[in-house]
A and B are shown apart, each in its own frame.
Chain A
Amino acid sequence: MLLELKDVHVHYGKIEALKGVSLEVGEGEIVSLIGGNGAGKTTTLKTISGLRSCSAGSVFFEGADIGSMPGHRRVLAGIGQAPEGRGIFPGMSVHENLLMGAYARKDDHTKELAEAYELFPRLAERRTQAAGTMSGGEQQMLAIGRALLSKPKVLLLDEPSMGLAPMLVQQIFSIIEEINRRGTTILLVEQNAQQALRLAHRAYVLETGRIVRSAPASELLDDPQVRAAYLGGDVGGDPGAAAAASGPESVALSKPAKGGPAKGEPAKGEPAKGEAEPADDAEPDGADAPDGE
């Protein structure tokens, strides 16, 4: 395995954002991590790239435990990231942003620079423009292009479709596919599960800090519960309701954007150790909602 998380716990102060996440990404794969708002997707990526440290568990990269390696070293090890909200440097030009991607490298980066411009011709047109003045889609391209300049072995993408028009999402996703075809492993985090699952080989479903499902992407794409919870599915109104109503052995695909922990007190209602059936959590939400299926 190229990248492996083993029972990773991450805390923000007292809030436990990840409650034992284990996942694997093999060389050459596109693995997708889907989940609602506040599920812990970003936290997972930050833990991999070293912006947050785990309170328990470990992160392995190419077989080595990188848990204590600072973030800026992980870039050199081969972990590249296009962070949530793009994280471009607004005052720098497009070109300067791309060069920042190669900051840590001592070797020649002309090939990767040319490749970034080739993948995103739009960036070449905007070379000297201040990155902060570009549109959201262009900024996303820049964030991905910049990550490529570090010549990553695994590329972590945090919601690349966020806030973009459908057309652009298509475009970005096909470029992601192309990047993978050229040999870069990809861990793709998405709320836009439909698109992500079409692209990915395998996927994990993350829910309030736990992996609740792991399967080949195509399988999840056809799964009624996943469809209901994350694909806007066949349910008009409240997708959470449908998930909760759909049977006892359900894997608690219960917390889409609306009812998610992001808004109020994050993860407050979560019992500390007792491990109540996660599906129970959803009951109050779903009790009075119409059946979707």
Chain B
Amino acid sequence: MSDNTNKTANTAGLRGALSGPLEAVRTHWDRAPGWERWAVYVLLVIGALFLPYQGLAPAMSPESDWQTILFYPIGIYVLLALGLNVVIGYAGMLDLGYVAFWAIGAYTMATMAVKHGIGFWPLLPCGIVLAAVSGVILGAPTLRLRGDYLAIVTLGFGEIVRKVAENTDWLGGTRGVNNIPHPPSHEGVWFLGVDLFTYKIRDARPYYYLLVALIILVVIFSKRLEASRIGRSWTAIREDEDAAEIMGVPTFKFKLLSFATGAAIGGSAGVVFAAKTSYVAPANFPFLLSATILAAVVLGGAGNIPGVIVGAFLVAWLPERFRGLADYRDLAFGAILVAMMIFRPEGLIPSRQRKAEMAEGGGGMGHMGAEIDTSGSEAEVGSR
């Protein structure tokens, strides 16, 4: 018994140690004047632009090509995590089939470009819209479900999309689609030693910069949403859906919007991915990937953009960095995730609001609880 209390105390101590300095930075940031924030944003973007620098490669990824893994998995994971964050982090809905929207974007690019010769740039908005529409189609009948039920339905959706791709000849079956054209090139625009708009097989960097541009757009978009009336509605839904409804929030409509927005972002990642790899197959879109992106969001701090980006970066990068450990790296990765959930369940860089939600016992995941009989617990409260 005393051993147990000791452990709890230890955990709490460790948690405190972890969050102390971060908390100070956070407080400072909250009070920082506009110019300071902008300076930090600019520095971060510059940092992202210099990231493919070959000199970093030995340290960052001794075993694989740094510039390639910067595009995939790192960049793609970050974009996907930002998209999933809109669903999980903002509206508090557990989506276990998110990878399906990425697949829909990728297959839009693959089939339309290969079969109909449509270019990358017109297909980018097409893929986005198509993914969003599938989000609505999946969401409309299912978003009345809550918590675990929604998770199961979305999980099924992810698998169905993959199975459909596997079994449709028009989509290439299990072999997938080959020879997807790259985006059109405009040679001669040099930037940091990169021919910026030359999309060929060799150089991954132009694709990476394309992703960076998309990520910046998505971050701005997310931030604006977060601060808007829509964002407030999502927060209310996440924290207490019934209460939100009786405040006058059209909860169903906003859940659908969150789902479609997340899907659209996933779709954009899919189009870019297909255009870079020039090859997509159902095997690219396993359930495991949905789970990994979910892990990235939760690990980093659902609902908080810097957290989500850091989480996705780590989840994508660590396994590549420690490729040398071969199979043990999955074990190590699992151990890290478990440790995180014990010592810092709110994520590496959580949002303040989420922390307060967790303190209240909501789990910081919104009210994931499905329609359950609350009268049992009510009896407990009442008798106190």
A residues sitting closer than 8 Å to B (CB atoms) are 12, 37-38, 42, 46, 49-51, 70-76, 80-81, 83-85, 87-92, 100-101, 103-105, 130, 132-133, 146, 150, 159, 162-163, 191, 257, 262-263, 266
Contact = CB atoms under 8 A, between A and B. Distances in A.
Interface in B208-247: 232-233, 235-236, 239-240, 242-247
A159 B381 CA distance: 11
B239 to A, nearest CB: 4
Interface residues of B, number: 36
7 contacts: A37-B378, A37-B379, A80-B246, A83-B246, A90-B362, A132-B356, A150-B248
Shortest 9 CB-CB distances between A and B: which pairs?
A104-B248, A132-B360, A90-B360, A87-B243, A91-B353, A130-B356, A262-B375, A75-B248, A91-B357
B245 A50 contact: yes
B159 to A, nearest CB: 27
A263 B383 CA distance: 14
A146 B247 contact: yes
B202 interface: no
Q: Which of B235, B248, B249 has the most CB of A within 10 A?
A: B248
Nearest to A39: B375
B382 interface: yes
B345 to A, nearest CB: 15
Given A88-B243, A90-B360, A132-B356, A76 B378 contact: no
Given A49-B246, A75-B247, A132-B360, 13 more contacts: A37-B375, A51-B242, A72-B246, A85-B381, A88-B240, A88-B243, A91-B235, A91-B355, A100-B247, A104-B247, A105-B248, A133-B359, A262-B376
Interface string B341-384: 00000000000111111011010000000010111101101111
B16 interface: no
Nearest to A130: B356
B245 A51 contact: yes
A150 B249 CA distance: 12
Contacts of A75: 246-248
Contacts of A103: 232-233, 236, 247-249
Contacts of A85: 374, 378, 381
B258 interface: no
Contacts of B375: 37-38, 42, 262, 266
Given A100-B232, A132-B360, A84 B378 contact: yes
A41 to B, nearest CB: 10
Nearest to A136: B381
A134 B242 CA distance: 20
A16 B249 CA distance: 28
Nearest to B373: A266
Contacts of A159: 382
B379 A72 contact: no
A81 to B, nearest CB: 5
B247 A92 contact: no
A182 B371 CA distance: 36
Contacts of A105: 248
Contacts of A262: 373, 375-376, 378-379
A70 to B, nearest CB: 7
Contacts of B355: 91
A90 B356 contact: yes
B251 interface: yes
B250 interface: yes
Contacts of A191: 382
A74 B248 CA distance: 8
A155 B248 CA distance: 14
Contacts of A50: 245-246
A91 B242 CA distance: 16
Nearest to B354: A91
Q: Which of A38, A74, A89 has the most C-beta atoms of chain B within 10 angstroms of its own C-beta?
A: A89
A100 B236 contact: yes
Task: Name the residue in B233, B251, B357 with the highest tally of chain A Cβ atoms < 10 Å from its Cβ.
Answer: B357
B250 to A, nearest CB: 5
A187 to B, nearest CB: 14
Given A89-B239, A90-B356, A71 B376 contact: no
Given A70-B250, A132-B360, A89 B240 contact: yes
A21 to B, nearest CB: 17
Contacts of B381: 85, 162-163
B247 A101 contact: yes
A46 B250 CA distance: 16
A37 B250 CA distance: 30
B378 A92 contact: no
Contacts of A91: 235, 239, 352-357, 360
A72 B249 contact: yes
Nearest to B381: A163
A107 to B, nearest CB: 13
Contact of A83 (B243, B360, B376, B378): B243
A162 B251 contact: no
A133 B360 contact: yes
Nearest to B356: A130
A50 B383 CA distance: 29
Contacts of A37: 375, 378-379, 382
A82 to B, nearest CB: 9
Contacts of B247: 72, 75, 100-101, 103-104, 146, 150
Given A37-B375, A163-B381, A81 B235 contact: no
B353 A71 contact: no
Contacts of A46: 242
B326 to A, nearest CB: 42
A166 to B, nearest CB: 13
Given A89-B235, A90-B357, A262-B376, A76 B248 contact: yes
